[in-house]
Structure 1
Amino acid sequence: MDTEAQHMERDRSSGPADGTEEGSRSTHVTARGTGGMSWGRAVFLGALCTAALLLFSTFVMQPFLIPSGSMEPTLRIGDRVLVNKLAYRFGSEPARGDVVVFDGTGSFVQESSDGNTVAALLRGAASSLGLAEPGGTDFVKRVVGVGGDRVVCCDKGGRLEVNGEPVDEDYLYSGDSPSQVPFDIVVPDGTLWMMGDHRSHSRDSRDHLGQPGGGMVPVDRVVGRVDWLGWPLGRIGSLEETGAFDGIRPAGPDHG
């Protein structure tokens, strides 16, 4: 009886021991397999989301970090705006008063080659997502003159004139004059005359009058129109439009 009892005790004790060991092994394998799938899925989803954002930013809407105060008070340093890349894709062109982002290569900055291609690509990807300041060739300004316009500053009242009509620029930085540098130009077809809203702190078309191109930005260099403010939270919303150019007549056949 004692021997049988001992055998029964061993049999009962071996069952739970084996079960526990098998259960632990099974749990360990399952957890390891689930963890591997989770990491792989996370990496895949992260890459997929990044690729989707880059595609969306490239063709539809791009976040743009405002790096300077040249467009104050309309845009402030650190603002993140959303640039509508479809605004001029279907036959329409930039209009007077539009705030646009453009590539200033050949007009605002000289052609140059970047020696570090990888760094340039990484910076471009970060800036296209609004995570870094834009490259040195990207600018945001307001369209003041389009092809054929005669833009003059300043008239007897100290105002900007477009095609002989005075413009009341309600968007100018408080205390700024339309321009401290006098000019009288005719905008060639297919180009734009660009100016910042903070005229005393903006390097724009006026600063390139004596250079090749005369400060005119080709229309095909426009990246898109700034339609929305995305950051900070207190300023989220659509960019306020201006009616300053509503009364301007188109330029005549003689362009001025």
Structure 2
Amino acid sequence: MDEKDAKDAKDSKTTKKRPFWQELPILVVVALLLSLVIKTFFVQAFSIPSDSMQPTLERGDRVLVDKLTPWFGATPERGEVVVFHDPANWLGDDPKKKPGNAVLDGIGEALTAVGLRPSSDEKDLIKRVIAVGGDTVQCDSGSPVKVNGVPLDEPYIYPGATPCNDHPAGTVTVPKDHLWVMGDHRNDSADSRFHTAEPSGGFVPVSDVVGRAFVVAWPIDRWHTLPVPHTFDQKQLH
């Protein structure tokens, strides 16, 4: 054995692998950083807080939201289910939180921050995009919703609910870079229709959209994707 081989053999004996308990903190930090990056730029989980999107989404469902495509300039389209920040205090003032365990609450907030727990942020809403900038929407009692004069066949709305009867909004034109949104449970959704008299006109700025919900991930027995309904494929809409 020459001098170099002897030195290599000596080095290999003196170099010991780190025990797992020393590597674990590093692995945890790397995992948290990856989760934070994924949540910030790619996909985020959201918890459904109400019944306004029944039957498509039930209270307590966890949906995954695509946050990547907007980075490439994509904008929401008719028929998509989107999560968006409260555009004009639609939800009112924050209700007072009941006192809880400060430690557990802190852990929960930390897990939500890095994307390891679904967000149930009360300042985020989830609705279906019915019309986009430049569209004209007609929402009259006793009639289907019409977009650019085309009546929508809406098989996704809650059984027994009416398209506009409970809160007709008349005819509105959606401003550029804004959306008109409605819940699938029309009789239990305080959506764009309920805010037409406000300064916002009931429209949601595209800049407030977090992303598109594309799948119900939890509970397992409710797993399903959220495609755009065929009713929005009509050429006349465009």
SS of residue in 1 equivalent to 2:90: coil
Aligned length: 211
1:57 equivalenced with 2:42 (yes/no) = no
Cα deviations by residue, 1:35-89 (Å, 9 ceiling, x for unpaired): x943332222122212211110110011111111111111111111110112333
Aligned to 1:190: 177
Matches within 5 A, 1:218-237: 218-237=205-224
SS of residue in 2 equivalent to 1:88: helix
Structure 2-normalised TM-score? Answer: 0.78
Aligned to 1:154: 140
Contact kept in structure 2, 1:107 and 1:213, CA below 8 Å? no
Question: Separation in 1 of the partners of 2:93 and 2:72?
Answer: 28
Structure 1 letter corresponding to 2:28: G
1:79 equivalenced with 2:65 (yes/no) = no
Instruction: Specify every segment of 5 or more residues in structure 1 that has no aligned partner in the other structure, as ranges.
Output: 1-32, 113-118, 252-256
Deviation at 1:237, TM superposition (A): 3.6
SS of residue in 2 equivalent to 1:81: strand
Cα deviations by residue, 1:11-56 (Å, 9 ceiling, x for unpaired): xxxxxxxxxxxxxxxxxxxxxx99x943332222122212211110
Question: Separation in 2 of the partners of 1:79 and 1:228?
Answer: 10
Greater CA drift, 94-103 or 42-51: 42-51
Structure 1-normalised TM-score? Answer: 0.73
Matches within 5 A, 1:135-154: 135-154=121-140
RMSD: 2.8
1:44 equivalenced with 2:26 (yes/no) = yes
Contact kept in structure 1, 2:147 and 2:237, CA below 8 Å? no
Aligned to 2:229: 242
- Quote the sequence identity (%): 40
Instruction: Specify every segment of 5 or more residues in structure 2 that has no aligned partner in the other structure, as ranges.
Output: 1-15, 95-104
